[in-house]
C-alpha cells in the first residue's frame, strides 16, 4: 500500500525559522540559499509537505490529532459531558472543570503551538510561486497550502475567536516593530472561505487508500471544513450546500455497515472516512488505546501498553439505549484478565469514573503504546447529522429529509428508525440530533462545538461536570498571556479573561 508521509526532517534541516515581534513567524533568509533550495518540483513538494501538513499529525504527543491533551479531540471533549480523565496530572483539572485562564497550560496550548504555522504556509506560498516546475503540480501544492492554512485558521477561530494573521509584507520584514492584528470576525470568516475555495478549485474530490497521494488534502476535506465553518456561523443554507456537495457520487462517501469496523487497521481508507491522519510503524503513531485501557482489560495483543486514563462518564453512558451497537466499543461491563467482572456496580479502580472509550481496534504489531491505525479526523456520519440539523434550522421544520438523514446514522447502530411524528417540535428533533451526534462522535472532537452552537456548553459544564468555575464567556478559550504581553497591549484578550 502506497502512503504519503511528511518529509519533515529534510526540510527542517534546510530551513531555519525564528520568532519575531509579530509573535507569528518570520524567516531568516540569510540562512537559506534560494539558489540551492527550493529549486525544483521535488524541493517544492518537500517544502509544502512540511509547511502544510506538519500541524495535522498524530505523532505520539505532537500534532493537532495527538491522543494527549494537546490534541483537538482530547482537549475539547474533556471540557464536555462526554469526557473525563482519571489521572491527576496538572493539565487535566482546568479542562475537566472548565477553569480557563490566560495562564492555563491546556486551554492555551493549541494557539501557542500552532499560530505560527499560519505564517509558515503564507511564506511557503510565496516561495514555491517562483520555482520553475510542472504547473499542474505547482497548482496542487499551492491549493494544499491554502487548504492547510484555511483549515488551521478555522480550528483556531473555533477555539479562540478571530486570530492574528500577518501579511506577507510584514512577514518579509522581520525587524519591523509592527504587531500582526487579530482579524475582525467578518474578515476571519472571509479569510477561511477564500482559502478553502482556492483549495476546492484545484484539489481532487478524494484519494483512494491505494493512491500514492492518499493522506494529502482533498476537495472533500475542504468542503467539510467549510460546512463546519458555516455551522459555526449559523449560516444554515451554505452549510446545506456543502452537505449536498459531499453527498455527490464523485466523492464516494457512505456509511460502513458496522460502527466498530470504521476504526480498524483492516478498514483504513474506508468509504466513511473523509480525511484521516495517516499513521505507520515508522512515523506518526497514535496512542489512543494506551491512554484508555487499564491493565485489567483483555487484549488479543498482550504487548499493548495500558495506562488507564480516559473515560466517558456514567451519566452520559446511561443516555445510550442498551441495544445500541456503539456500546460494543464504549465498554462499561467486562471480565478482566484477573477474572473479576468490572462494571458500574463493581468499578474497582478501572471504571470508577466511567466507561472505556475504546473505539479503535488493536494494532497486532504494537509493542508498546504506539498504533499504526490511521486516526480518523472527519467522516461521513458527521456530515449527515450536521445536514439533518442544518435542514431543520433552515426550514424551521422537521422535514422528512432531515429525519431520513438522522435515521441513516441512528439505524446503523441497530436502533429503531424515527418517524417524523416522533418529534413534537423542531426543538425536540434538534435535541435528538445533538444526542445522536454525542452517541456517534464521542472523542472525535465535535462535542464542544455542538454544545456551543446549541447554547448548552457552559450549562452542561455546570450540570454534568459540576464546575463552579465555568463562566458564560468561556465559550471561547483565552489567548496565552504571553501573546498579550509580547504585543505590548496591541492584542486584546478575549472578553472575561
Could you tell me the residue ranges of all domains in the chain? 8-63+93-257, 379-475
Compute φ and ψ for 385, nearest 5 degrees: -75, -35
Statement: residue 207 has pLDDT above 80: yes
In this prediction, residue 17 carries a pLDDT of 38
**Whole-angstrom Cα distance, residue 258 to residue 299?**
20
Identify the CA nearest to 179 among candidates 494, 484, 497: 484
Does the domain at residues 379-475 carry the CATH identifier 1.10.287.110?
A: no
Statement: residue 303 has pLDDT above 80: yes
Question: What's the pLDDT band for 33 if we cut at 50, 70, 90?
Answer: low
Q: What residue has cell string 456514567?
A: 314
In this prediction, residue 261 carries a pLDDT of 98
Question: What's the pLDDT band for 18 if we cut at 50, 70, 90?
Answer: very low
Compute φ and ψ for 335, nearest 5 degrees: -95, 125
User: Are 350 and 308 a contacting pair, CB within 8 Å?
Assistant: yes
Instruction: For residues 242-255, give the mean pLDDT.
Output: 98
pTM recorded for the entire structure: 0.94
Report the chain's mean pLDDT, rounded to a whole number.
93
| Identical fold, 8-63+93-257 and 379-475 | yes
Distances (CA, A) of 334 to 232, 295, 297, 340, 433: 39, 13, 8, 8, 29
Instruction: For residues 55-65, give the mean pLDDT.
Output: 95
Instruction: For residues 329-344, give the mean pLDDT.
Output: 98
Question: What's the pLDDT band for 2 if we cut at 50, 70, 90?
Answer: very low
CB atoms under 10 Å from CB of 133, counted, come to 17
Identify the CA nearest to 234 among candidates 474, 452, 495, 494: 452
Identify the CA nearest to 445 among candidates 247, 267, 277: 277
Statement: residue 450 has pLDDT above 60: yes
CB atoms under 10 Å from CB of 5, counted, come to 14
How would you write 378-406 as a 3-class SS string? EEHHHHHHHHHHHHHHHHCCCCHHHHHHH
Instruction: For residues 477-490, give the mean pLDDT.
Output: 94
User: Are 144 and 219 a contacting pair, CB within 8 Å?
Assistant: no
Instruction: For residues 135-146, give the mean pLDDT.
Output: 98
CATH fold, domain 8-63+93-257, is: 1.25.40
User: Are 355 and 443 a contacting pair, CB within 8 Å?
Assistant: no
Give the 3-state secondary structure of residue 57.
coil
Q: Which residue has the higher pLDDT, 114 or 2?
A: 114
Q: For the segment 143-180, what is each residue's pLDDT rounded down to a tens digit?
A: 999 999 999 999 999 999 999 999 999 999 988 888 99
User: Are 236 and 390 a contacting pair, CB within 8 Å?
Assistant: yes
CB-side exposure of 103: number of CA atoms within 13 Å?
A: 1
Question: What's the pLDDT band for 281 if we cut at 50, 70, 90?
Answer: confident
Compute φ and ψ for 342, nearest 5 degrees: -105, 135
Distances (CA, A) of 410 to 243, 382, 383: 18, 12, 14
**Whole-angstrom Cα distance, residue 86 to residue 79?**
14
CB atoms under 10 Å from CB of 124, counted, come to 26
Q: At what angle do helices 426-441 and 380-395 cross, to 10 degrees?
A: 170
**Whole-angstrom Cα distance, residue 215 to residue 273?**
11
In this prediction, residue 32 carries a pLDDT of 53
In this prediction, residue 20 carries a pLDDT of 37
The strand ranges marked E within 362-494 are 375-379
Question: What's the pLDDT band for 488 if we cut at 50, 70, 90?
Answer: confident
H helical segments located in 162-235: 168-171, 185-200, 219-232
Q: For the segment 64-115, what is each residue's pLDDT rounded down to a tens digit?
A: 999 998 999 999 999 999 999 999 899 999 999 999 999 999 999 999 999 9
H helical segments located in 314-373: 314-317
Amino acid at each position: 500500500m502506497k502512503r504519503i508521509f511528511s518529509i519533515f526532517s529534510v526540510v527542517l534541516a534546510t530551513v531555519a525559522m525564528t520568532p519575531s515581534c509579530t509573535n507569528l513567524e518570520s524567516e531568516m533568509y540569510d540562512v537559506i540559499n534560494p539558489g540551492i533550495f527550493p529549486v525544483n518540483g521535488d524541493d517544492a513538494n518537500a517544502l509544502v509537505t512540511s509547511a502544510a501538513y506538519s500541524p495535522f499529525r498524530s505523532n505520539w504527543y505532537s500534532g493537532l490529532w495527538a491522543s494527549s491533551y494537546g490534541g483537538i479531540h482530547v482537549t475539547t471533549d474533556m471540557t464536555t459531558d462526554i469526557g473525563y480523565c482519571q489521572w491527576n496530572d496538572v493539565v487535566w483539572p482546568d479542562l475537566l472543570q472548565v477553569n480557563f485562564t490566560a495562564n492555563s497550560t491546556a486551554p492555551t496550548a493549541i494557539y501557542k503551538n500552532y499560530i505560527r504555522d499560519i505564517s509558515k504556509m503564507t511564506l511557503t506560498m510565496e516561495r514555491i510561486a517562483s520555482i520553475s516546475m510542472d504547473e499542474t503540480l505547482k497548482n496542487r501544492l499551492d491549493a494544499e497550502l491554502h487548504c492547510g492554512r484555511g483549515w488551521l485558521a478555522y480550528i483556531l477561530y473555533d477555539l479562540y475567536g478571530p486570530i492574528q494573521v500577518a501579511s506577507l509584507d510584514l512577514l518579509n520584514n522581520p525587524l519591523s516593530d509592527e504587531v500582526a492584528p487579530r482579524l475582525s470576525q467578518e474578515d476571519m470568516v472571509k479569510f477561511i472561505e477564500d482559502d478553502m475555495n482556492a483549495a476546492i478549485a484545484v484539489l481532487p474530490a478524494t484519494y483512494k487508500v491505494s493512491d500514492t497521494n492518499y493522506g494529502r488534502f482533498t476537495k472533500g476535506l475542504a468542503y467539510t471544513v467549510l460546512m463546519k465553518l458555516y455551522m459555526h456561523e449559523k449560516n444554515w443554507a451554505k452549510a446545506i450546500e456543502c452537505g449536498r456537495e459531499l453527498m455527490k457520487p464523485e466523492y464516494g462517501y457512505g456509511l460502513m455497515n458496522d460502527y466498530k469496523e470504521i476504526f480498524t487497521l483492516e478498514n483504513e481508507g474506508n468509504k466513511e472516512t473523509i480525511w484521516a491522519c495517516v499513521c505507520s510503524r515508522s512515523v506518526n503513531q497514535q496512542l489512543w488505546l494506551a491512554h484508555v485501557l487499564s491493565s485489567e482489560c483483555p487484549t488479543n495483543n498482550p504487548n499493548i501498553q495500558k495506562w488507564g486514563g480516559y473515560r466517558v462518564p456514567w451519566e452520559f453512558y446511561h443516555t445510550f439505549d442498551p441495544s445500541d451497537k456503539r456500546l460494543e466499543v464504549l465498554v462499561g461491563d467486562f471480565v478482566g484478565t484477573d477474572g473479576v467482572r468490572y462494571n458500574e456496580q463493581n468499578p474497582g479502580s478501572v471504571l470508577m469514573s466511567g466507561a472505556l472509550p475504546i473505539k479503535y481496534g488493536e494494532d497486532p504489531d504494537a509493542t508498546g503504546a504506539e498504533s499504526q491505525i490511521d486516526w480518523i479526523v472527519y467522516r461521513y456520519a458527521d456530515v449527515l447529522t450536521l445536514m439533518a440539523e442544518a435542514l431543520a434550522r433552515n426550514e424551521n421544520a422537521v422535514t422528512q429529509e432531515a429525519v431520513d438523514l438522522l435515521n441513516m446514522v441512528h439505524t446503523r447502530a441497530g436502533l429503531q428508525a424515527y418517524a417524523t411524528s416522533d418529534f413534537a417540535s423542531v426543538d425536540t428533533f434538534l435535541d435528538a440530533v445533538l444526542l445522536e451526534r454525542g452517541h456517534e462522535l464521542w472523542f472525535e472532537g465535535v462535542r464542544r462545538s455542538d454544545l456551543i452552537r446549541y447554547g448548552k456548553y457552559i450549562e452542561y459544564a455546570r450540570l454534568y461536570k459540576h464546575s463552579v468555575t465555568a463562566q458564560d464567556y468561556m465559550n471561547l478559550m483565552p489567548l496565552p498571556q504571553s501573546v498579550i504581553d509580547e504585543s505590548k497591549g496591541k492584542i486584546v484578550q478575549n472578553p472575561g479573561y
